[in-house]
Amino acid sequence: MKKKKKYTALEHAVISSFGKLNKVGTSKHQVKQELYKKTGKHLPSPYIHGASTFDQYIKICCQYARWLNETHPDVYKLAYAKRMGYAHEYIQIRIDAGQSSYTIKRAACALAKLYRCTSKDIYSNQPERHEEDIKNSRGYTYDDYKRDKEKYGSIVEIARMTGLRKCELAYITKDCFDFRNNDVIYCHIDGKKHNAKGGRNRKIEILPEHRDRLKEILSEYKPGEKMFPKIPGALHPHAIRAMYAGDLYNAVARSEIPKDERIFIKDKKSGEMKSVPAILRKRDGRKFDRAAFLRVSRSLGHNREDVVSVHYSRFCKPLNE
């Protein structure tokens, strides 16, 4: 019989605190709208809406609680640890250990949720994050994709056609796919039903070139049947998701954009619309079609083009190539 894991008092306090923030499967957008109606301000949701984020944050904060027990055994309450600056000390130790800026940011955000504050309140001098610091699935290539396709079959093809997350692939059925438009195929994701991040509904754009093969794959399943209830642990959906982003971007991006053209996007802090250049310029000098990035972003389940620029652009062709 497997022994039940024993938690310290501080770990129990962490788990209890996060239990009050658990809104996994509910709509983050709806919560933000309700906050706007009450306050007249665009405020972030105080809850956690994504299952993976919830699990990661609890794991990080339980590690923090165990560190407190080992390093500061006099601490009996989490609030006391924050007043004494131990949360700041914990982040500094991770920086000194050489952890990436993205790992540091995630840890600071987890502690910020625990203490109901901002990540800047936890550690104001966080390392600047750069795209080149991201390591997740960055070495994945087209050859890797071909090998995975031969090994795992249609799940890899569907991931390439849709850019679905790992958690979403496990819940989709053939009923998600809409062929009624002759020009574009859509995959409709129900935030709750399909375990989407943040409980967010979305409509995924699928390129017409996949129509015949997609119909062939879907013919193997019954209506309402989960297509991939078991996801191979060695599969790289995040990397294949970037391939989807590249496929869609390369298909819809303009080859030439006037230098003075501007488009409107939503500011991530204020929530208000703002005018920005239509050409997105990256640190390394490459240029991209910002409107195309925004279109890809919506299919991926985000609302900001910079998310695609940073995390999913490695298969996108720059304008200056």
Q: Residue 131 pLDDT > 80, yes or no? A: no
| Number of structural domains found in the chain | 3
Span 244-266, average pLDDT: 92
Same domain, 125 and 152: no
Q: Residue 114 pLDDT > 60, yes or no? A: yes
Same domain, 24 and 95: yes
Q: How far apart are CA 36 and CA 91, in angstroms?
A: 32
What's the whole-model pTM score?
0.73
For residue 306, the Cα-to-chain-centroid distance in whole angstroms is 12
Burial annotation 281-315 (CB, 10 A radius, 16+ → b, else e): eeeeebebbbbbbbbbbbbbbbebbebbbebbbeb
Q: How far apart are CA 314 and CA 162, in angstroms?
A: 17
Same domain, 27 and 62: yes
Q: What is the structure's pLDDT at 93?
A: 93
Percent of the chain scoring above 70 in pLDDT: 93
Average pLDDT over the chain, rounded to whole? 89
Same domain, 163 and 118: no
Same domain, 31 and 83: yes
Span 123-150, average pLDDT: 74
Q: What is the structure's pLDDT at 3?
A: 57
- Where a domain ends, among 129, 163, 179? 129
Q: Give a yes or no: residue 272 inside a domain.
A: yes
pLDDT tens figures, 70-112: 999 999 999 999 999 999 999 999 998 988 888 899 999 999 9
Q: Give a yes or no: residue 192 inside a domain.
A: yes
Same domain, 216 and 173: yes
Q: What is the structure's pLDDT at 210?
A: 95
Q: Give a yes or no: residue 277 inside a domain.
A: yes
Q: Give a yes or no: residue 61 inside a domain.
A: yes
Same domain, 293 and 201: no
53-58 contacts at long range (C-beta below 8 A, 24 or more positions apart): 53/197, 54/18, 54/21, 54/22, 54/24, 56/106, 56/110, 57/18, 57/109, 57/110, 57/113, 57/114, 58/14, 58/15, 58/18
What does each C-alpha distance from 62 to 3, 81, 254, 284 come to in angstroms? 19, 14, 48, 38
Same domain, 17 and 87: yes
Same domain, 161 and 119: no
Task: Give 130 or 118, the one with higher predicted confidence.
Answer: 118
Burial annotation 116-137 (CB, 10 A radius, 16+ → b, else e): eeebeebbeebeeeeeeeeeeb
Same domain, 121 and 25: yes
Largest CA distance in the chain: 68
For the chain, the first-to-last Cα distance in angstroms comes to 60
Q: What is the structure's pLDDT at 264?
A: 87
Span 235-248, average pLDDT: 93
- Where a domain ends, among 129, 155, 182? 129
Q: What is the structure's pLDDT at 30?
A: 85
Q: Residue 161 pLDDT > 90, yes or no? A: yes
Q: Give a yes or no: residue 67 inside a domain.
A: yes
Task: Give 222 or 41, the one with higher predicted confidence.
Answer: 222
Using pLDDT thresholds of 50, 70 and 90, give the confidence band for residue 194: confident
Q: Give a yes or no: residue 73 inside a domain.
A: yes
> DSSP secondary-structure letter at 209?
G
Token pair recorded at residue 35 = 């906050």
Segments in 1-48 forming alpha helices (H) = 9-19, 28-39
Q: What is the structure's pLDDT at 127?
A: 61
Same domain, 116 and 156: no
Q: How far apart are CA 261 and CA 253, in angstroms?
A: 15
Q: Give a yes or no: residue 100 inside a domain.
A: yes
Domain that holds residue 184: 142-235
Q: Residue 283 pLDDT > 90, yes or no? A: no
Q: Residue 138 pLDDT > 70, yes or no? A: no
> DSSP secondary-structure letter at 283?
T
Neighbouring C-beta atoms of residue 101, cutoff 10 Å? 15
Same domain, 22 and 124: yes
- Where a domain ends, among 129, 151, 186? 129
Q: Give a yes or no: residue 136 inside a domain.
A: no
Give, to the nearest 10 degrees, the angle between helix 51-71 and helix 86-96. 100
